[in-house]
Amino acid sequence: MALSFREATTRDVAAVAAQMGRPLAGRFSVVVRHLDGTPVVIENEPHLRDGTPMPTLYWLVDVALNQRVSRLEGEGGVHRFEALVDPEQLRRAHDEYARRRRAVTRRYDLVAPVGGVGGTRRGVKCLHAHLANYLVGANDPVGALVAAAVVPGELCAVGRGGWDG
């Protein structure tokens, strides 16, 4: 499972800024990549540089995957996938996500980010966040469903477990 907070390389900062269409306001590192090295998922520090809490620990930055997941959300995927998963498994995914974020928090003098996957404590808010969480190796039942719907098999096989080669 990714818990790195190695400072992103200059090349990764530029690549992610290009993917997002803007520079990011916080520190991050790339924790899942395509075979060609292109960033897929980043791990965010729990606070932005200005001290604002950042609840999204794992962020999907791949442009094509973002578009596919956005289509799923637009077709009612948030409610559909939430109805398909065991609420207890989903609660555990949220709790584990929050625990991992707390474990890497370094600024205890600031307001702490709260919530689980996607910043929520229960239910499903953002399929992008669940997919990113799943791709770093988390046991995320919603992320697994999203991956089955949108992720090419080779990325899913290589990306799971925080591969960052």
Tell me, what's the pLDDT at 161? 45
For 105-145, what is each residue's pLDDT tens digit? 888 899 989 899 988 888 999 999 999 999 999 999 999 99
> Taking the domains of the chain in order of start, what are their residue ranges?
10-159
- Give dist(CA 162, CA 83) in Å, integer: 27
Tell me, what's the pLDDT at 4? 55
Tell me, what's the pLDDT at 163? 36
At residue 113, what is the residue type?
P
Residue of 95, 103, 102, 33 lying closest to 65 (CA atoms): 33
pLDDT confidence bin for 158, thresholds 50/70/90: very low
Radius of gyration of the chain (CA): 15
- Give dist(CA 158, CA 1) in Å, integer: 13
24-40 mean pLDDT: 90
Output the average pLDDT for the chain: 87
